[in-house]
Amino acid sequence: MGLARASYSTLLYALSPLIVQRIWREQLSGYRRAQRLGFALGTFPAGPRIWLHCASVGEVRAARGLIEGLLARYPEHILCVTTMTATGARQVHALADELGNPRLVHRFVALDFPGAARRFVAALAPALGMLFETELWPNLIDACARQGVPTALVNGRISPRAFKRYRAFTGVMSETLDKLDWIAAKSPADAERLEALGAPPARMAVVGSLKFDMTLSSTTREQGERLRATLAARPVWVAGSTREGEEEQVLAAHRTLCQRFPDALLVLAPRHPQRFDAVAALIERQGFRLARRSRGEAITAETQVYLGDTLGELGVLYAAGSVAFVGGSLVPLGGHNVVEPALLGLPVLCGPSLENFDDVAAPLLDSGALMRVMDASALANAVASLWEVPSLALEQGAAGRDVVMAQRGALRRTLAGLDALLPADEAHLDRTF
């Protein structure tokens, strides 16, 4: 073990009480916690395996097109998608149910301790391993290299904020990136930052963002349209993936909107399920009449806020609105995926913090499909202007959809690059994207 990785592993062991305490909460029935240490992966359907690791729910959603492409391109393989979080696990299960494909399975990834990583890779024995976006785990990647498993970083990104952190660990990062067989960077800026951290340029390609290749099922659209139909002609806006400290600003904007549009409805979907009850209590404390989706509560004429406190339904909720605000952006957290509501043809709003999605946000901002607002007052004014001039909302929504369609292609380029690591069955190449 190199000195840099040894130092990294020593630090992990020193922090293990905190790490285990944090991960202990990320649990689902039917899973043994020993899976976090590389044990108890259970049985798999018969066939060779491919491994894709996504951190949590957002990454699983962004990887949907890739997941579908891999299942089509490698029809004899089992695709095991791992996550770190329970919400990510639920998202994988929901996708597997929707696709009706028994070859898509989920496991929790092992923590990046050397022994756990070795056991995990040995038990999974994948023919190909992929890590999504910034999931650069040194011991897992080293275990793959030692066991002869080709690995790739797909939709690879390093935000400016993450780059500053990683530069403090240049040694272990350089060693880790050098062990990857291929890196599919999502933008030239990401490729430049990855190269500065030690990624070999000869094994890296800029393929674009897989977020532009995301798909929405007909079921998602149909459920959203059915929900929208129950709301009659009410003005409806959706605030999705909101974070702590942001709901207060969204509710302040909604209070202003209710003064101008008395029948306005806010559909509010917080990012993390552990906050659902706290957000519901906040809504009620502020005097809004609330209905909760998780309880099957009907939206009546008196309902002012509909809380989307379920998992895997953000697309459905977006499809029920006429304007979308994407959270994680009025607070300094880097934003969330603005492509999904744009794909639905909605005008999209966000706050000033969008650095984690700057590459996908840039063409949407340039087209006028995405509008930045600085605070609750500006958010209320932006929503009101779109309601007051429906033709403007339609124009911005159409522009956003056009941008998303024009930017597609990363999935095709990613699958083509992976073919060098695990050749696809020629008979199935025409079934991929």
Kindly list the catalytic residues. Answer: 59
> CA dist 120 to 56, 59, 101, 112, 154, Å?
19, 21, 24, 10, 20
d(CA 309, CA 313): 9
Residues near 131 by beta carbon (within 8 Å), at least 6 away in sequence: 53, 137, 140, 141, 151, 152, 153, 154
Helices (H), 286-389: 314-319, 339-343, 358-367, 376-388
**What single-letter amino acid sits at 103?**
R
> Do 81 and 106 form a contact (C-beta atoms < 8 A)?
yes
- Where b means 16+ CB within 10 Å and e means fewer, 368-395 reads ebbbebeebebbbebbbebbeeeeebee
3-state secondary structure of 145: helix
CB-based burial label for 19 (10 Å; 0-12, 13-18, 19+) = middle
> Do 181 and 126 form a contact (C-beta atoms < 8 A)?
no
The strand pairing partners of 130, in sequence order, are 52, 152
Counting DSSP H helices and E strands in the chain, the numbers are: 19, 14
